[in-house]
A and B are shown apart, each in its own frame.
Chain A
Amino acid sequence: MRYILRRLRRLCIVMFAVTLLTFLLVNVLPGDIAYDIAGQDASEEDVQAIREDLGLNRPVLVRYISWLSGVFVGDWGASFRTGEPVLEAITSRFPVSLELMLFAQLLALLLAVPLGVVSAYRAGSRLDRGIAAAGFAAVSMPAFMVAILLILLFSMYLSVLPATGYEPISEGLWANLRGMILPALSIALAEWTILMRTLRAEMIGVLQEDYIALARAKGMADWHILVVHALRPSSFTLITLMGLQVGNLIGGSIIIESIFGIPGVGRLLINAIYARDFIVIQGCVTFIAIAYVLANFLVDMAYALLDPRIRVSAQHG
């Protein structure tokens, strides 16, 4: 319990720092939404009126504090352009982004875990070196390039998967997933190598442990030893890394959502940045920061599931 309180306090500090920083940064961005809203033929007075209307003429800190006090009561402001409430805009798009990120992480794990285990088991072999080479090739290509290559291959040449377009889950699970495969794969291909190499390194260490020798002395089959005895103790760093990679995942999905035309939080953010829609940018960044900290919190909880030693000491403490 104390642990959770400590985490919450940390969350607050992080949130304060992140929101203040984005507020200041967005403020120094060149460009002014008031001109956009007013249109080309507007007079300087009209623009000034719009500024006043939106509260843009007040000092930065005053605006920040008024925004922050709104956030606590669930009022994240409304888009300067469309008038759509920011919180609603984010929560309606978030499930799409979440699906993309979870799907991407799942694909990354589906690649990383089996290949990492095989690499550790056959460390130094040709297979191990081959997997490593493929992994480094994948990780050295940026996600947007992978995305374009995937579109070329699967949409243009093979014509099996759509290049753009998002179908909501109400149109059927397969229709929904079909549109998600290429975007998720683009992100996963950039992520899996690090997970795979981490698992491999840790598992090589675990396979030297006495308890693995004992499992062999018990006559257990190799696959049983790898999956039942070695995988869980080898996964601790992997889990930490997955928490840290949430940042990459979010960054990746922002770009990928734009490429594939997926209506998620990332695209909302990108469009808001182009339009200098400060309040939306602010809302998205705040939301992403909360999501990041929460994801890492969940990762810490996952340790307890994997490692009984942590579980028990938590009960006592």
Chain B
Amino acid sequence: MAMPLLQVIDQRTYFETGRGLLRAVDGVDFELHQGRTLGVVGESGCGKTVLARSIMGLLPSNTRVGEGSRIIFDGRDLGALDEKSLRALRGSEIAMIFQDPMTSLNPVLTVGKQIGETLIRHHGLSRHAARGRAVELLRDVGIPQPEVRVDQYPHQLSGGMRQRVAIAIALSCQPRLLIADEPTTALDVTVQADILDLLRRQQIERDMSMILITHDMGVVAGRSDEVAVMYAGRIVEWAETPELFRNTRMPYTAALLNSIPRVDDPPHRRIDAIAGRPPDLIHPPKGCLFAPRCGHVEQRCRRHSPPLQLASDGTHAQACWFPQSVGTTP
């Protein structure tokens, strides 16, 4: 197989806090090939967003990155690049979509300016040409009357429209990798599917690679090629998407799947929320970090932390001492 577009090797992103070192991302490895979509799933605070920002190189000043951590994009070690080369990469080859379009667009700049400035910066377009291109991009992402919208301000657009604008910004320079961080979490349910389908369509059309970050298993189903489930800063299960849903092994993944209410559920059924809370990432407990919340916990789980193990056929990996065999019911 060809070289992967993105390789993340033993990524450790820690934050210095008043209480000690917070291990937000604690040893994540994965590869992503050209034209594929990786879904990253996990509950709030599991390190999804920090992982995304680590790839973008957009981390606050109290960050400590692990010594052996490498992020290799298209053969280039991003950690070894200077800020200037990183800036040239951001927005042009790696683009990002943020969670909340209400806050991720600048309130005092027109939509056209916000799309166009990326083109001016990376492709050297003139103001006039950038505006024309912005209109085309707005049309591509399904915004009606793009010639009018291009001169409007974000507050004049609905939430779904704004997220389309954010997508247009991300697509403007034809990036090779698109990171979408919970792109639909802040939107109405009715708009969510539209936005996700738009992303998937654009990804296939442009042959981009995409990292789709979400807490919702339903989002990645059918819209990703492979899924990595994160818990407490680590990947605890990885598989091709159909395989993961067919053959869930990690109790945490199973619990995530069970926590989705289904249309065919009897009325008033209690949702199977995952009991307990995620562990303290500053003083993590010994052993498997999910052990305190796991329904299948055994002695060994509390003593030793399970490594992420790739199954012999290479299509499924899990970090669990007692992986569940078949099906989604633990």
The answer to whether A and B assemble together is: yes
Residues of A within 8 A of B (CB): 209-211, 213-221, 224, 228-229, 232-233, 306-309, 312
If A219-B90, A312-B156 touch, whether A233 touches B108 (CB-CB below 8 Å) is: yes
Minimum CB distance partner of B88 in chain A: A219
If A211-B103, A219-B121 touch, whether A309 touches B87 (CB-CB below 8 Å) is: no
| Given A210-B103, A214-B98, A229-B106, 11 additional A-B pairs, CB 8 A | A211-B106, A211-B107, A213-B98, A217-B96, A219-B88, A219-B121, A219-B122, A228-B117, A307-B108, A309-B153, A309-B155
Q: How many residues of B contact A (CB 8 A)?
A: 29
Q: Which residues of B contact A210 (CB under 8 A)?
A: 98-100, 103-104
If A218-B91, A220-B91, A312-B155 touch, whether A211 touches B121 (CB-CB below 8 Å) is: no
Nearest-CB distance from A132 to chain B (Å)? 19
Q: Which residues of A contact B117 (CB under 8 A)?
A: 218, 220, 224, 228
Q: Which residues of A contact B105 (CB under 8 A)?
A: 211, 214
Tell me whether B118 and A218 are in contact (CB under 8 A).
yes
Q: Which residues of B contact A215 (CB under 8 A)?
A: 106
Q: Which residues of A contact B88 (CB under 8 A)?
A: 219
Cα–Cα distance between A224 and B122 once the two chains are bound (Å) = 14
If A218-B90, A220-B117 touch, whether A312 touches B153 (CB-CB below 8 Å) is: yes
Q: Which residues of A contact B184 (CB under 8 A)?
A: none
Minimum CB distance partner of B95 in chain A: A217
14 pairs, CB–CB < 8 Å, chain A vs chain B? A211-B103, A211-B105, A214-B106, A217-B56, A217-B96, A218-B117, A218-B118, A219-B88, A219-B92, A219-B118, A224-B117, A229-B106, A308-B153, A312-B155
- The verdict on B109 contacting chain A, using a C-beta distance below 8 Å, is yes
Minimum CB distance partner of B108 in chain A: A232
Tell me whether A219 and B107 are in contact (CB under 8 A).
no
- The verdict on B134 contacting chain A, using a C-beta distance below 8 Å, is no
Q: Which residues of B contact A217 (CB under 8 A)?
A: 56, 58, 90-91, 95-96, 98
Q: Which residues of A contact B156 (CB under 8 A)?
A: 312
Q: Which residues of A contact B106 (CB under 8 A)?
A: 211, 214-215, 229, 233
Tell me whether A216 and B121 are in contact (CB under 8 A).
no
- The verdict on B32 contacting chain A, using a C-beta distance below 8 Å, is no
Tell me whether B103 and A216 are in contact (CB under 8 A).
no
Cα–Cα distance between A221 and B88 once the two chains are bound (Å) = 9
Q: Which residues of B contact A221 (CB under 8 A)?
A: 87, 121
Nearest-CB distance from B179 to chain A (Å)? 9
Minimum CB distance partner of B169 in chain A: A218
Cα–Cα distance between A213 and B56 once the two chains are bound (Å) = 10
If A307-B107, A312-B153, A312-B156 touch, whether A216 touches B90 (CB-CB below 8 Å) is: yes
Q: Which residues of A contact B195 (CB under 8 A)?
A: none
If A210-B98, A214-B98, A219-B89 touch, whether A308 touches B108 (CB-CB below 8 Å) is: yes
Cα–Cα distance between A308 and B154 once the two chains are bound (Å) = 10
Q: Which residues of B contact A214 (CB under 8 A)?
A: 96, 98, 104-106, 166, 169
Cα–Cα distance between A220 and B122 once the two chains are bound (Å) = 9
Cα–Cα distance between A217 and B89 once the two chains are bound (Å) = 9
Tell me whether B104 and A308 are in contact (CB under 8 A).
no
Cα–Cα distance between A224 and B117 once the two chains are bound (Å) = 10
Nearest-CB distance from A133 to chain B (Å)? 22
Selected contact of B121 from candidates A209, A213, A218, A306, CB within 8 Å: A218
Q: Which residues of A contact B100 (CB under 8 A)?
A: 210
Cα–Cα distance between A26 and B22 once the two chains are bound (Å) = 67
Minimum CB distance partner of B155 in chain A: A309
Q: Which residues of B contact A219 (CB under 8 A)?
A: 87-92, 118, 121-122
Q: Which residues of A contact B169 (CB under 8 A)?
A: 214, 218
Q: Which residues of A contact B108 (CB under 8 A)?
A: 232-233, 306-308
Nearest-CB distance from A205 to chain B (Å)? 13
**In B165-224, which residues have CB < 8 Å from any A CB?**
166, 169
Minimum CB distance partner of B156 in chain A: A312
Cα–Cα distance between A312 and B108 once the two chains are bound (Å) = 12
Minimum CB distance partner of B115 in chain A: A218
Tell me whether B58 and A209 are in contact (CB under 8 A).
no
Q: Which residues of B contact A233 (CB under 8 A)?
A: 106-108
Give the residue among B90, B92, B106, B109 with the most A Cβ atoms within 10 A.
Answer: B106
Cα–Cα distance between A220 and B99 once the two chains are bound (Å) = 20
Nearest-CB distance from A87 to chain B (Å)? 42
Give the residue among B87, B92, B99 with the most A Cβ atoms within 10 A.
Answer: B87
Q: Which residues of B contact A209 (CB under 8 A)?
A: 103
Cα–Cα distance between A215 and B107 once the two chains are bound (Å) = 13
Nearest-CB distance from A316 to chain B (Å)? 11
Cα–Cα distance between A207 and B99 once the two chains are bound (Å) = 17
Minimum CB distance partner of A212 in chain B: B106
Q: Mark B120-153, 1 if CB is under 8 A from A, else 0.
A: 0110000000000000000000000000000001
Q: Which residues of B contact A308 (CB under 8 A)?
A: 107-108, 153, 155
Minimum CB distance partner of B102 in chain A: A210
If A217-B96, A219-B92 touch, whether A211 touches B104 (CB-CB below 8 Å) is: yes
**In B65-100, which residues have CB < 8 Å from any A CB?**
87-92, 95-96, 98-100
Q: Which residues of B contact A211 (CB under 8 A)?
A: 103-107
Nearest-CB distance from A241 to chain B (Å)? 19
Can you list the 10 inter-chain pairs with the closest CB atoms, starting with the nearest?
Answer: A219-B91, A218-B91, A219-B90, A210-B103, A210-B104, A217-B96, A211-B106, A308-B153, A232-B108, A219-B87
